[in-house]
Structure 1
């Protein structure tokens, strides 16, 4: 016997207890929760008994995820072949509070974080550009001392890569920890989305660093940079 949480509270019984039903003892094997969240209410206060009865039932329930487009047709295959032609068949959802259908792909495209890769790209571009501008006195001094620009760019690239390796390691560790308790499919989707954001951040940082060092650092501006600093 399986009873709802409301029945359990009303009768003060729990899983493992025994109830007398029609003069016979019935063991409560499980207590199920049935929250009031928009779902049909007939199982909110109910007692369920598993059966091997092969006669006709008045309801057929189907649980599926994701929900196929032809779910209504599939459910109709449970209708008895000898049912009267004028029999009324109602098909509905257990819980329709969130609408009659679910378009996961559309919700994914319209999520608030869909622009996260672009935000990461733009944000890291600005951070990298700001870092180069703060160092332009140092960089212009190196050019004035005879360091070739290509060597200076190589130095900045190596420094940026080291910074990005540290940042990427932290991001991967956080994403892995956040998906540790999820199933494989969900974890894979979350990690893929995180990887796209991470790539956007890496590209933005490298591009911001290189473009700013080329366009905003001039040997001729060394003394101006020094005065502004």
Structure 2
């Protein structure tokens, strides 16, 4: 156990609380310094270059998430492109068998929505838990960027699926068969 008087007391607290600063002045022993002046306890910020308060919601709202969101959308578009392109022989064969293009596109959209909604249903609760665990602020401010990115990725994969599906043509059936 520490004994004696000390000239500094450092406190690190998370989440930030206004109740900590008054507690720092309680254990100060009265007295005077060498020149006879009264010692006055002083509470000040340890690192004055970092600001005096921390607003997590503001920091999360202003994070530069655009590059990560763009990367997620590009990855989703590439996934949609690859998944439909791998099935182009099947799609051209369905067109050759008499299925109209609109019905084929509806089928592709429904199939894509089934696996993307399933993926979202599995991933988003985990992301919500990560945003809420140990976070004293509302979890929504940490969860919203992930939700926005996920929504844009779902739209991107759906658009890519429909575009590549629309570009698949029956007249290329034999070329698709040859290159499978």
Instruction: Considering fraction of residues, name the structure with more strand.
Output: 1
Which runs of 5 or more structure 2 residues have no equivalent in the other structure?
13-23, 30-37
Q: Which has the higher contact order (CA 8 A, sep 6+)?
A: 2
In the alignment, is residue 150 of structure 1 matched against residue 128 of structure 2? no
- TM-score under structure 2 normalisation? 0.71
1:112-191 equivalences in 2 (<5 Å): 113-183=65-135, 185-191=137-143
For 1:219, the equivalent position in structure 2 comes to 170
**Aligned CA distance change for structure 1 residues 137 and 114 (closer, same or farther; 3 Å):** same
In the alignment, is residue 195 of structure 1 matched against residue 141 of structure 2? no
For 1:94, the equivalent position in structure 2 comes to 46
In the alignment, is residue 58 of structure 1 matched against residue 40 of structure 2? yes
Deviations 1:103-156 (A, max 9, x none): 975785454x43222222111011001111100000000000000000000100
Aligned length: 157
- Asked whether the 8 Å contact 2:76–2:153 carries over to 1, the reply is yes
**Aligned CA distance change for structure 1 residues 138 and 163 (closer, same or farther; 3 Å):** same
- Asked whether the 8 Å contact 1:140–1:218 carries over to 2, the reply is yes
Larger radius of gyration: 1
**Aligned CA distance change for structure 1 residues 48 and 103 (closer, same or farther; 3 Å):** closer
Which runs of 5 or more structure 1 residues have no equivalent in the other structure?
1-7, 12-18, 22-31, 36-45, 62-91
For 1:49, the equivalent position in structure 2 comes to 27
- TM-score under structure 1 normalisation? 0.57
Cα RMSD of the aligned pairs, angstroms, is: 3.5
Q: Give the Cα separation in 2 of the matches to 1:168 and 1:212.
A: 23
For 1:40, the equivalent position in structure 2 comes to none
For 2:156, the equivalent position in structure 1 comes to 204
Q: Give the Cα separation in 1 of the matches to 2:170 and 2:87.
A: 13
**SS of equivalent to 2:99:** coil
How far residue 222 of structure 1 moved from its aligned partner, in angstroms, is 0.1
